Structure 1
């Protein structure tokens, strides 16, 4: 009887150590503790920095193409920053995707009108050209994504 108890107790201990080695005890990857954290949300400061970087890159393109004066540059930059904040607010809201898309589109149209109001006639023509050149690039990216996903779908 003692022998059976000893065997049973030994088997119980053995199975516990085996399950711990395979990740059931909080240790994974050959005994290395799993300390991976989920990606953290960016802080408000980080969001502002990223927004400022994107805006600055866009303003460099606009300034090079439209040859903006200082007043135009500052006014348009402020408008783009304001728009970016508004879009972020809309994207974090609880609206449906369709409502979000409609609101973002309305914000962008309003911004385009405001930016155009700061431009002279020649700059407006160039600005419209920039916007129309941007649309085919977006469509090309969508087509590429669709083409890349089609072979994956066919393979499945």
Structure 2
């Protein structure tokens, strides 16, 4: 993060239960909130594609080696979630996993990668499979690669 970005206020999800999850996660440095109903959870901060503001949300995640995996399910809705649209416009993201914070580069998994990674994520959270069956869009799998030497 640049010095300017460090001075910026981060806006948490406007969804009440997500904002509460984020609040607990931040207040306890990840001790409370690093799982959500038994599923690993992280905090993702993106830059708003229209507002330019920093936006933070809590998401379930999986792992593929050193990379973190997210699913842009939006609960199976027909549209992508705002956080996915934001990182598609600006792939530099900040991630907090427990007490650890780092900068990463996010990207949508390629078609070939998705074939391998989708089952990883449906094992983490089986409901993703139901979400995919209920929508016409292909739900993206996002790969976050740690930016070398850019820990917070």
TM-score range, shorter chain: under 0.3
Higher relative contact order (CA 8 A, sep 6+): 2
Q: Greater share of helix residues, 1 or 2?
A: 1
The structure whose residues are more often strand, as a share, is: 2
Larger radius of gyration: 1
